[in-house]
Amino acid sequence: MELTAEQRAIERVVGEVVDDVIRPTARECDRAETFPEDAWDELAALDLTAMTVPEAYGGLAVDSLTYSVVNEAVARGSLAVATALSVHCLATSCLAEFGDETQRERWLPDMATGRPVGAFALSEPEAGSNPAAMTTEARPEGDEYVVNGTKQWITNGERSDVVVLFAKTDRDDSDTVTQFVVPKDTDGLSVGKKEEKLGLRASDTTTLVFEDARIPADARLTPVGEGLSAAFHILTGGRIGIASQSVGLGQAALDAALTYADEREQFDRKLSAMQTIRHKLADMQTRLQAARLLTRDAARKADAGEDHRMAASMAKYFASEAAVDVANEAVQIHGGYGYTTDFPVERFYRDSKVLPIYEGTSQIQKEVIARELLD
């Protein structure tokens, strides 16, 4: 799908930040399990932390295709950074779409600059793919809500300053899921366990623990009971972002495999001259381009105001699975070296495994697609 001159310019500028700032530190950040705050500040300087903030609050309010292009470009450098950025943008999307004027004025201008960092707290230890089973409760008490419960798998869990929270106002009633905005320094809110993960090791993924945390009634973003529908609405756009990141990571793996195949010699000839390797690379390119086109088609539908739920799920499902396959083949092409940290493909492979899992597993995406087809 053809990009505009402006979108190509954005792609080029982001690519320069990726090559100059993000990629050089990606290996060390992965090893040390530290987030590259300098890279975040570079992205913020380009206003990329403002992508889903309306212009009235200092944002860019980019279209879905531009958002896809940026996510793909950043993920080519580091999936951990791209994930942190997309979750921040989920939080600003929620505030932009569901917040009232006071809430928007309070949060969005500063979040557009990259600080405070946003988090999105939906999943729980026993409620991942089925968020309606959440047990976190925001019980109304006078002009406040008292929040108790634990959220899990929270990207930006440690480094965030504001949390978009989903909780039931009545723990026993699944129809009371409601969306709130909660400052991170709220008494009774603490950061729990930091997950030790296979991949995305530079991204802080934690639990958030609420113990009698009191938030004012004006922290509520949606009417009582409309939190889940709000989450699903926002996550439909988020799936385009994850599909785009899948393409970006896959492109990084393919680029690494192409470089290695052209440099490495076996049996007195380059790997790139061997038919087996050439066919692997051809398959990788084909799957990657198919994923990119599916993703940009979903973005185009979103920008046109069309129902893009099935397109977003198809893109997320296909692109995330393709990223795993492409990263796996990149490791295989590198042979034994691909299994070591001397080359980045082992990190790409580890990182890729989260893509078919978060923001809706591949199985959930198939259910969405089947429902759109059949029901």
Cα–Cα distance, 352 to 328 (Å, whole number): 9
- The answer to whether residue 158 is catalytic is no
The answer to whether 147 and 182 have CB atoms below 8 angstroms apart is yes
Torsion of CA 4, 6, 11, 13, to 10 degrees: 160
For helices 345-352 and 23-32, angle between their N-to-C axes, nearest 10 degrees: 70
Q: Which residues pair with 26 in a beta bridge?
A: none
Q: Give Cα separations from 370 to 88, 287, 301, 314 (angstroms).
A: 30, 22, 19, 10
Q: What is the DSSP letter of 340?
A: S
Cα–Cα distance, 10 to 275 (Å, whole number): 37
The answer to whether 331 and 343 have CB atoms below 8 angstroms apart is no
Q: Which member of 72, 137, 329, 359 is catalytic?
A: 359
The answer to whether 323 and 250 have CB atoms below 8 angstroms apart is yes
Cα–Cα distance, 44 to 115 (Å, whole number): 9
Beta-carbon contacts of residue 198 (< 8 Å; ≥ 6 apart): 350, 353, 354
The 3-state DSSP class for residue 375 equals coil
List residues with catalytic annotation. Answer: 359
